[in-house]
Structure 1
Amino acid sequence: MGIIHFLAELLKDPRTAIASWIAMGVAPTLGFIFLIVFVETGVVFFPFLPGDSLLFAAGFFAAPDAVTGKSALPLAALLPVVWLAPIIGDQCNYFIGHFFGRRIVESGKVKAMTPERLAKTEGMINRWGPLAVFLGRFFPFIRTFMPFISGITGMRWSRFTPFSVLGGLCWSTLFTLLGYFFGNIPVVQDNFELVIVGILVISLLPTIIGLVKAKMGKKKPTGAHVAAESAVEEEEN
């Protein structure tokens, strides 16, 4: 129950979670941030961890305080941590998919890995090739499944890695610097929880739209199939 409570609090308010880590020291805080970003990216069983909002909150603590001019986290130490975590995580997840992917999918143990999400991720790979690895980095769930499915589908490591590294660097830098530059704005500080929810909603919106389109796409062929059968029956009669 302890880990469930920890994850629930982290999803709800990453700023408070990081503040409690900072009380233990900078090194443990950077270690926790690395671990969570790595696990979200590198372990296919944890696609729900709050990578975007965690990076934003971490950037907020790296910004200089308006009064003292000091920051709780040094940006020069934070950036290498958030750069390495998704890159190493992608590599781990790619090889998990490459060696064990089929058995994991067939086991059905990853409940978040629904047929719709798998189809959307595979569709991105089929359409964009290795560029999908870069684009998928910016979408929750898909960024967890993308390296895993890249490993399953046999995408060459030499094609996967450059786009994975570029995506990890751009994604982590973007959200960390957004928190760094905008986290101290009074409106953002007063409504920090709403900002975090907004980041989650915006991040999830393309995935939700894709799932809705996929379901609607399934219904259309069914209707066409019924109409075709009716036409055949009329001709036979």
Structure 2
Amino acid sequence: MFEHLDLNQLLATYGYLAIFIGCFLEGETILILGGMAAHQHVLKLLPVIGYASLAGMLGDQLLFWIGRYFGARLLPKLHKQKAAIDRVSQLINRYPTVSIFSVRFLYGMRLIGPMVIGASKVSPLKFTAINLLGAVVWATLFANAGYWAGEFLQRVFGDLKPYRLPIALCVIALMVGIGLIRHLRSKRRAEA
């Protein structure tokens, strides 16, 4: 079954769609892999950045509007996210523009942050403009990180074609591991 599976063809056919869906939902891992695929000339870097920017912005816009309409009822029910909600609320009160821009870069805030901002008094137009800028910067940074990781790996291993699947699995495992370590650290801080 898998001997006829052509990873290049799958990436070329569904790569941009996977980047769009992955970045709409969360994004960093798929974006790094997209950058690596661009380095290997399976995808193009500018469309990777473009699709990721659009998807990241639209995902945050959706969460903003959920927060705007349902935040007063929804946020108090998210007991496990209370520390993140409090942190974003403090950021919004002190630095509203910076918080809108930076919330996508803060671990554990990517999903809850736009909802909290939506529940605040930030204007939708201001959020949209700053969110778009943040999404473009975010997508550019992570896609280029993947691109340069591909460059580094090519210098170490030479031709990366035989290693594409193991590299993708290692990147995913690394991102999951980093997320797990951060989660455990934040859980320990919350308990302390």
1:72 is aligned to 42
State the AA in 2 paired with 1:33: I
Q: RCO (CA 8 Å, sep 6+): is it higher in 1 or 2?
A: 2
The alignment partner of 1:72 has SS state of: coil
Change in 2 beyond 3 A, CA 1:198/1:143: closer
Find the partner of 1:146 among 90, 113, 121. Answer: 113
Which structure's residues are more often helix, by fraction? 2
CA-to-partner distance for each residue in 1:41-84, whole Å, 9 max, x for gaps?
Answer: xxxxxxxxxx22221111001103xxxxxx11122322211111
Find the partner of 1:55 among 15, 18, 31. Answer: 31
2:150 is aligned to 183
Work out whether residues 79 and 173 of structure 1, in 8 Å CA contact, stay in contact via their aligned partners in 2. Answer: yes
Q: Percent identity?
A: 24
The answer to whether residue 14 in structure 2 is matched with residue 37 in structure 1 is: no
The answer to whether residue 63 in structure 2 is matched with residue 93 in structure 1 is: yes
Find the partner of 1:128 among 95, 102, 105. Answer: 95
Mark the runs of 5 or more structure 2 residues left unpaired by the alignment. none
2:123 is aligned to 156
Work out whether residues 105 and 138 of structure 2, in 8 Å CA contact, stay in contact via their aligned partners in 1. Answer: yes
State the AA in 1 paired with 2:174: V
Find the partner of 1:165 among 132, 152, 162. Answer: 132
Quote the offset at 1:198 in angstroms: 6.3
Change in 2 beyond 3 A, CA 1:202/1:25: closer
2:174 is aligned to 197
1:81-120 residue pairs with structure 2 within 5 A?
A: 81-106=51-76, 108=77, 113-120=80-87
Higher mean C-alpha displacement, 74-83 vs 195-204: 195-204
The alignment partner of 1:143 has SS state of: coil
The answer to whether residue 2 in structure 2 is matched with residue 26 in structure 1 is: no
1:174 is aligned to 141
The alignment partner of 2:110 has SS state of: helix
Change in 2 beyond 3 A, CA 1:92/1:22: farther
Distance 1:58 1:32 in 2: 9
Distance 1:167 1:174 in 2: 11
CA RMSD of aligned residues (A): 3.3
Quote the offset at 1:133 in angstroms: 1.2
Quote the offset at 1:163 in angstroms: 1.9
Mark the runs of 5 or more structure 1 residues left unpaired by the alignment. 1-18, 41-50, 65-70, 217-237
Distance 1:146 1:120 in 2: 9
The alignment partner of 2:15 has SS state of: helix
Quote the offset at 1:157 in angstroms: 1.3
Structure with the greater alpha carbon radius of gyration: 1
Change in 2 beyond 3 A, CA 1:200/1:35: same
Change in 2 beyond 3 A, CA 1:87/1:198: closer
State the AA in 1 paired with 2:92: I
Higher mean C-alpha displacement, 24-33 vs 165-174: 24-33
The alignment partner of 1:73 has SS state of: coil
